[in-house]
Amino acid sequence: MYINLYPKLKKGLLAAACLLTTVGANAQYCTPSAGALSNCGNGYSLTARINSVTTSAGITNINNVNNACTGYTVYGGPGNTVTQNAGSNVTMNVAVPSLGSSFPYRVVVWVDWNRNDTFNNTIYNALTNPAGEVMSVSPLTTFVSGTHTFTMTVPLGAKNGLTRMRVRAGVRNGFSPITPPVNYDPCDFSSFLHGEVEDYDFVVINPCTAPAPKPVSNLTYKSATINWDKRLVAEFYEYWVSTSNTPPTSFGYYFTTNTSVPLPDSNITSLNCDTKYYYWVRSICDTEGKSQVNWEYSPWRMDSFVTPPCCYTPVSSFSFITSTTAVASWNPVPSVQRYEYAIRIDTLTPQAGTITTQTSVLLQGLAPSKQLYFFLRAHCSPTPLSEWGLDSFLTQPTTGIGTVSNTKGFSVLAFPNPVKDKVTIAVVAGTRAGNGMVEIADVTGKVIMRTKMENDMQEVDMTGKPTGIYLIRYRDDKNNDVIKVNKE
């Protein structure tokens, strides 16, 4: 469950907090009935009472040996207060006098761990019933006198501070079947006919501390789940996420009862790739009867995570555009593994395209004088894919000076044609046989440039050469081709 207080919910919760302040100030524990027939057995020639209550192993302990009985007594102060840390044990002894075998006792102890002025009448179990506040019930056997001794662990979820412990002891009757009281209740006498109830102060030391961190999970370039360990004393948690490491200075950020928050959420609506985020979490341990500014807050705990590198969309450009071919180029993308491209006559996003590891491709078989749309995206790691990028270009009309001689089934293309500075020679049909050689000669046949062609595409710089017609000769072990180009 997530709680965002801005703007309307915050006002509502603050109003509710003001109401709780009024209710909390007037709330009090119920006044119990000790027995259906009598308090302490008075008038029935019985002494059904608590002789003494003592504790040990606490930081401070109870040592009440006052066996006076009025039915219900509230004890407090030195000698009547037990103090202990959450998670630590207290051993308790409740002594009762003998009424004979016909009157077996039942002893029940409650502690209001959540300090809501009510005793939860279910048996506490740290795993299966952490909300229970019945800490001990004497056996349903013939416990007729002596001391009921037990050890209880102060729950890790017990609220910090002063609360109340209630002790009830009593009997049922001397008629068959002879059993102690079967049913019990912190307020009503239930099946207790005679007995006594005593209340004591219990001081729990369980300060509101920040939850311990846990590793961020589900981390991608645009999402992450922040996690922390559960603080049993916390009612809920407050968190804040920022790209700045400046800690929060106020209250009323974002609230959740969970111990993990998948981002983005309704509060943090987006995450960016390759970005360091700082997040702060704190526990809110006590809001009962308090305005928001007076809630019991733990200190903030800061942690951080970095989203994986961005898989940027490559930005394409076009060169050497002819009537049927073009070269698409782009700058390398960090963390890239390969690129994917597609060419269409419309702007509908393709489902898939052609894979390449190069940063330029020769586009062939294009229609002259046609507006074409080029889609390009990157495959990266760990971020898998960029978005598709879209650009367009217009092919030239059917012009230029073409191939004048070639080996059958093998063809070389030079573009752009005419050329101003750099010309690219590309094998567009057939297969090279070993490394090729490219020569550029003027119209007199004089070779002015010579270079090896080790791939299917070779760029040659003709900057500074006079305008005019040039012959580009290609040859390898099996193939040869001659192309005329016009230098502008």
Per-residue pLDDT tens digits for 5-62: 333 333 333 333 333 333 333 448 999 999 999 999 998 988 999 999 999 999 999 9
Give the helix ranges, DSSP H, for 27-156: none
**Per-residue model confidence (pLDDT) at position 169:** 97
Convert the pLDDT of each residue in 65-102 to its tens digit: 988 998 999 999 999 999 999 999 999 999 999 888 88
Domain spans, the chain = 28-205, 208-306, 316-394, 403-487
CA distance from start to end of the chain: 71
438 class by beta-carbon count within 10 Å (0-12 exposed, 13-18 middle, 19+ buried): buried
Convert the pLDDT of each residue in 324-354 to its tens digit: 889 999 999 988 999 999 999 999 999 999 9
* Residues facing residue 73 across a β-bridge: 198
Q: Following CA atoms 314, 320, 321, 324 in sequence, which dihedral angle do they give, to the nearest 10 degrees? A: -110
CATH class of 403-487: mainly beta
Of 136, 138, 156, the C-alpha closest to 147 is 138
CA atoms of 312 and 414, how far apart (whole Å): 32
CATH of domain 208-306: 2.60.40.10
Amino acid identity of residue 244, one-letter, is S
**Dihedral sign of CA atoms 454, 456, 461, 462 in order:** positive
Residue 361's contacts (CB-CB under 8 Å, 6 or more residues apart) are 327, 328, 341, 354
CA atoms of 415 and 423, how far apart (whole Å): 6
Q: Are 105 and 138 a contacting pair, CB within 8 Å?
A: yes
**Per-residue model confidence (pLDDT) at position 24:** 37
Convert the pLDDT of each residue in 277-292 to its tens digit: 999 999 999 998 899 9
The number of C-alpha atoms within 13 Å of 45 and in the hemisphere containing its C-beta is: 2
Percent of the chain at pLDDT exceeding 70:
92
Q: Are 107 and 134 a contacting pair, CB within 8 Å?
A: no
Q: Are 205 and 285 a contacting pair, CB within 8 Å?
A: no
Of 281, 257, 199, the C-alpha closest to 4 is 257
Amino acid identity of residue 252, one-letter, is G
CA atoms of 262 and 429, how far apart (whole Å): 54
**Per-residue model confidence (pLDDT) at position 406:** 56
**Per-residue model confidence (pLDDT) at position 483:** 85
Amino acid identity of residue 126, one-letter, is A
Tokens of 167: 């002790």
CA atoms of 144 and 47, how far apart (whole Å): 12
CA distances from 294 to 108, 128, 161, 207 (A): 35, 32, 15, 15
* Claim: this prediction has a pTM higher than 0.75: no
In this structure, how many other beta carbons lie within 10 angstroms of the beta carbon of residue 333? 21
CA atoms of 87 and 76, how far apart (whole Å): 23
Centroid of chain to Cα 447? 69
Q: Are 393 and 370 a contacting pair, CB within 8 Å?
A: no
CATH class of 316-394: mainly beta
Task: Give 28-205's CATH code, choosing from 2.60.40, 3.40.1130, 2.40.50, 3.30.70.
Answer: 2.60.40
Q: Which residues of the chain have pLDDT under 50?
A: 1-27, 400-405
Q: Are 248 and 278 a contacting pair, CB within 8 Å?
A: no
Residue 117's contacts (CB-CB under 8 Å, 6 or more residues apart) are 27, 28, 29
CA atoms of 189 and 181, how far apart (whole Å): 10
What DSSP string runs through 229-251? ---TT-SEEEEEEESS-PPP-SS
**Residue 450: which H helix or E strand, with range?**
strand 447-453
Q: Are 321 and 343 a contacting pair, CB within 8 Å?
A: no
Mean pLDDT of the chain: 89
Q: Same CATH topology for 28-205 and 403-487?
A: yes
**Per-residue model confidence (pLDDT) at position 399:** 52
Q: Look at residue 117 and give its three-state secondary structure.
A: coil
